[in-house]
Each structure stands twice: as structure tokens, then as C-alpha cells.
Structure 1
Amino acid sequence: MTERKAFQLRISAEILAATQRWADDELRSLNAQIEYVLRDALRKAGRLQKPDGQNPEDEP
């Protein structure tokens, strides 16, 4: 199982409210929605390691 770490996040009230509405629409918690959005952005940017531990930037 993936290790989880807690940290504080400073975020504008407008962004927080919009993210909460989005999470409600997707039937996720606010925390899960933030993690989903970050994971998707990291994957699209090629910054998230593949499950086998390989970084996509390491490929030839």
C-alpha cells in the first residue's frame, strides 16, 4: 500500500469551493479529488513514475 503523508494546503476560497463542487459531482471526498487532479496532471506531464518504478523520462 502507498504511504500517505499529511500536509497543510493554503488555497483560495474560490478554488476550494469549486473543487468541493467537482468532488461532490464525482462522488469523491475533497481530499480524493485533489489527489485525483494532481495525479492526472503529473501523469500528463510525464512526471509520475510508472508502477514498476521507472520514470517516464528515463525511457529512450
Structure 2
Amino acid sequence: MSKQDQRVAILMGTKDGAAFIEEQLGSLLAQSHSPVDLWISDDGSTDGTTAIIGAWKSR
């Protein structure tokens, strides 16, 4: 299997991470390897984390 055919899966857990989530997502998606499957599990954030994640879905 060539490197181009390989996929990277990232599993990320968060709760009330609004202060950090944009920097984390930016860093993950700036990596040189693609395609990437990114799965985020939010544990009931109340600080706007889910809205930030939603805004990043189309990127």
C-alpha cells in the first residue's frame, strides 16, 4: 500500500474545550498527511465547544 492510499484516523475527546479546540483542530488539519478521518466526541460541553466544532465541519 502506498503512502497516498493510507488513511489516518484521529479520535479526539473534549469537554468545555472552547478555549483550545480551534488551535487543536488547526494543528491537526495542518499536518501534511491526508486523507484524514477526524472523529470528535464531546461530553456535554456548555461553553460553545460544539458550535466551534460545527463551524469546522466543512473544512
TM-score higher than 0.5 here? no
State the structure with more CA Rg.
1
TM value normalised by structure 2:
0.28
More helix by proportion, 1 or 2?
1
Of structures 1 and 2, the one with the larger relative CO (CA 8 A, separation 6+) is: 2
More strand by proportion, 1 or 2?
2
TM value normalised by structure 1:
0.28
